[in-house]
Amino acid sequence: MNGKVGRNDPCPCGSGKKYKKCHGAKETVSINQILENELLNLQRQIIDFALFNYESELLEDFDFQREMLILSDESEEEFYEFIHTFWFTCFELLVDGETILERFISQQLPKIKRPRLQEIFRSWTGPELVAGKITAIEENHLVVKDTLRQESFTINLFEKMQGYEKGEYVFAILLPYGQNYYSFPSCFNLPKESVADYEKFVKTEFAVSGYEDEKEFLKDYFLELMNHAPEAANKIKIDAIDWKHDSNRKVAYLFEEEMESIGELRPFIDAGIILWAEFCRRTNKRIQNPYIYVAALQYLMSMILPTSFSLTQKQLAKEYGVSANSISARYNEMFDILEDEIDKLMSFRIAGSNTESFPQFIINKHPSAPMSTERVMHEAFQELADKDFNSIEEINEYLRNKRFEPKKSKKGIVSDQEKAQNLIYDAYEIEGPQRYQLAREALKLNPSHPDGYNILAEEAGSLVEANALYKQGMELGKKDLGESFFKENKGRFWGLLETRPYMRAKMNYAQASYELGQLQEAIHHFEELLELNPNDNQGVRYSLFIAYVDNKELGKAKKLLNQYNEETAYGLYNYLLLELLENGFTPLAGKLLKNAQKSNKYVIDYITGKKKLPDYSLPSYGLGSVEEAIIYVQDHLHIWRKIPGISEWLTQSREKVKG
């Protein structure tokens, strides 16, 4: 008697059911469970193999990928490093053109005896990625419709993989299992309430990426998409704002739509909407042509937060079908009305008499450095991606208590001018020969870029040679901007991003001219810089003060101090310096010394020689710090030494103050 039971035979248990519907089904489940356990074990072996043999490659690539991610804390960084291991194992090619997964499969496949397991394991050389909505859930699998390809993937769930809901959005790495897939290691889900935002975000990112193949795009940007997608749900809700006129709301929506269409970061968009809402609140304007204000708002934001998609007023005029003059007028209007809010957003300096509590806030000696003025705010807003702000005040409060590290910006299709600008930014972030090579490459793309000459001047053989490069960059930058541009924007130059390379070149030329003893030339350019930008984001006033004093123009030096009236070491010690130069050791000088000491108690020791100045320059300082004292005295000591008996007077006067 043959003991084999056919699938359609009555079950031997006597239930009256066919074997396939009774104990045959249980046997199938048992085989599936065994297969599932073996597949899980293989997945673990893959990761062990990757970590053991390719740890350095994994760490090196994650260091690069980390720059593209928004990571709020250590646990989030660990999570993405974990996901990165799976992604890199499946998709990144090694030097021989194989992936880690392919190499593991080729080594382990001969060791697998079960034919069905061999078949499945061999198919893992074709992993998939999916970013999409869960359209169906059954007991042991879910169906996900990929946003970009509009293909559906049936994903088997391991026994412990539960808790998904229909309508949720998921990101997953998939390994084939016949017609279905298993996730590797799991499906990472986002709330279904915001699924439309996630889908729009992924589609927009693909549209602006320059990729034609959806699968290739998903492979290259998977981690970044997964990390940035929550931004889409944390956006400012335009309808939640109290708009006085529907036309104001329309501008906000048009601005949001345009910025999303070019792939701008969500924090950039939200900040623009908040500034626009504040402008509307202050002016109560009825808008006739919303596109003029959308263009002006886009231009304003590109001046505040550097962006890969920055356009000139002429380019925006063509884009929106309006005149460049109308954009300029509205931009100037918005800048004037919102200037206090813009200053708060762009400022990391907190005024206050209690300088002892100030060390966490660092002030750059040279605020013109691009990484401290043109990229840092952009990176700051990346840090704000998962924050939900409803007002300018909330953003200001957050920025005042946060320091930011620069990160690499996103890649995209850009013009030669934009490529040149990106090369310049990259050059400013590195040291050594590559810095100058990047500057040369930038100048090949845009021969008129002043920052190219600013950087090349650093490796010049002499100060005279360097100054010639600064002058060349300054003159080319001025020509590129055009005479009418200077007349139109005088007084607000630093607020226009395209002026900054020129302003840096002009500042460098003026400073080098001063060091070469060309005082009148230096003063002329320092003064012009302040006329162009009275807010003096570059710190021109400090150099101009020294030049005035060296040129014996003490009246102009005092007028300059009064103009900015700073309660800092620079301001207070320089008031004292002028009094001593003009009138000697007067009672007023004693009072001024007392006030100056309150701003920084370390300055006197370096002027008198009690403490030795270092023979190197410091890049930054905290208010009231030793570093501030060193930088101040390094710049001004030659003037203080012109005063006979100054060391003795300072020492005696300080003792009186202490007494």
Task: Read off the pLDDT of residues 491-519 as tens digits, 9 standing for 90 and up.
Answer: 888 877 788 899 999 999 999 999 999 99
In the predicted model, what is the mean pLDDT of the chain? Answer: 81
Beta bridge partners of residue 18, listed in sequence order: 10
Contact 453, 463 (CB under 8 A): no
CB 292 within 8 A of CB 327: yes
Q: How does pLDDT run across 597-622, given as a tens digit for each residue?
A: 888 888 998 898 887 887 666 655 66
Q: Collapsing DSSP states into helix, strand and coil, what is residue 176?
A: strand
Per-residue pLDDT band for 139 (boundaries 50, 70, 90) equals confident
At residue 200, what is the residue type?
Answer: K
State both tokens at 597: 């000491």
The single-letter DSSP state of residue 615 is: S
pLDDT digits (tens, 9 = 90+) for 217-239: 999 889 999 998 887 777 788 88
Residue type, 254: L
Q: How far is CA 220 from the centre of its chain?
A: 20
Terminus-to-terminus CA distance in the chain, angstroms? Answer: 117
Higher pLDDT, 89 or 9: 89
Residue 370 has pLDDT above 80, yes or no: no
Q: Does the pLDDT of residue 161 top 70, yes or no?
A: no
Residue 424: pLDDT above 80? Answer: yes
Structure confidence by residue, pLDDT tens digits, 169-208: 999 999 999 899 999 988 899 988 889 889 988 998 888 7
Phi, psi (rounded to 5 degrees) for 136: -155, 145
| pLDDT single digits (tens) 75-87 | 889 999 999 999 9
pLDDT at 348: 33
pLDDT value at residue 659: 45
- Predicted pLDDT at 655: 60
Residue 248's pLDDT band, with cuts at 50, 70 and 90, is: very high
Judging by beta carbons within 10 Å of its beta carbon (0-12, 13-18, 19+), is residue 82 exposed, middle or buried?
exposed
The confidence score (pLDDT) of residue 597 equals 86
CA dist., res. 328 & res. 290, Å (int): 15
Residue 639 has pLDDT above 90, yes or no: yes
The candidate with the shortest Cα–Cα distance to 172, out of 133, 138, 210, 136, is 133
Of 411 and 431, more confident:
431
Q: What is the mean pLDDT of residues 470-483?
A: 94
Chain Cα centroid distance, residue 468: 33
The model's pLDDT over 381-390, given as tens digits with 9 standing for 90+, comes to 444 544 565 6
Per-residue pLDDT, 363: 34
- Residue 20 phi, psi (nearest 5): -65, -20
The tokens 């998609």 sit on which residue? 309
Give every CB contact of residue 261 below 8 A, 6+ residues apart in sequence.
204, 207, 208
∠ CA 273-279-283, nearest 5°, is 145
Domains, the chain, in order of start with CATH, read 33-233 (2.40.50.320), 235-350 (1.10.472.10)
Residue type, 460: A
Cα of 150 vs its chain's centroid, Å: 32
Mean pLDDT of 360-373: 36
CB 511 within 8 A of CB 522: yes
SS3 of 409, please?
coil
Write out the H or E segment, with its range, that includes residue 505. helix 500-515
Mode of pairing for the β-strands spanning 152-156 and 180-183: parallel
Instruction: List Cα–Cα distances, 641 to 480, 607, 609, 648, in angstroms.
Output: 44, 8, 11, 12
Q: Are 79 and 188 in contact (CB under 8 A)?
A: no
User: Could you tell me if 61 and 92 are in contact, meaning their C-beta atoms sit under 8 angstroms apart?
Assistant: yes
- The average pLDDT across 552-580 equals 92
**Coil, helix or strand for 97?**
coil
Tens digits of per-residue pLDDT, 313-358?
A: 788 888 899 998 888 888 888 888 888 777 666 543 223 333 222 2
Residue 255 sits at the vertex; the CA angle it makes with 253 and 261, to the nearest 5 degrees, is: 100
What are the angstrom distances between the C-alpha of 230 and each of 72, 208, 398, 417? 13, 19, 20, 32
pLDDT in tens, 30-55: 556 777 788 888 999 999 999 999 99
Average pLDDT over residues 575-603: 90
What backbone torsions phi and psi does residue 131 show, to the nearest 5 degrees?
A: -135, 105
Cα distance between residue 62 and residue 76, in whole Å: 13
pLDDT of residue 398: 58
Distance from the Cα of residue 580 to its chain's centroid: 46
Assign 160 a pLDDT band (cuts: 50, 70, 90): low
Give CA separation, 306 vs 72, 371, 407, 633, in Å.
22, 11, 13, 34
- What is residue 218's predicted lDDT score, i.e. its pLDDT? 93
Residue 476 pLDDT more than 90?
A: yes
Tokens of 116: 């069905």
One-letter amino acid identity for 221?
A: Y
Residues 397-408: b if buried by 16+ CB within 10 A, e if exposed: eebeeeebebbe
Which are the contacts of 367, defined by CB distance < 8 A and separation ≥ 6?
A: 373, 537, 538, 539
131-140 mean pLDDT: 90
- For residue 368, give the 3-state DSSP assignment: coil
Q: Which two tokens stand for residue 77?
A: 């960084």
Q: What is the mean pLDDT of residues 458-487?
A: 92
Tokens of 37: 């356990």
Residue type, 225: L
Strand partners, 136: 143
Q: Is 284 left (phi over 0), alpha (psi -120 to 50) or beta?
A: left
Cβ atoms 385, 70 nearer than 8 A:
yes
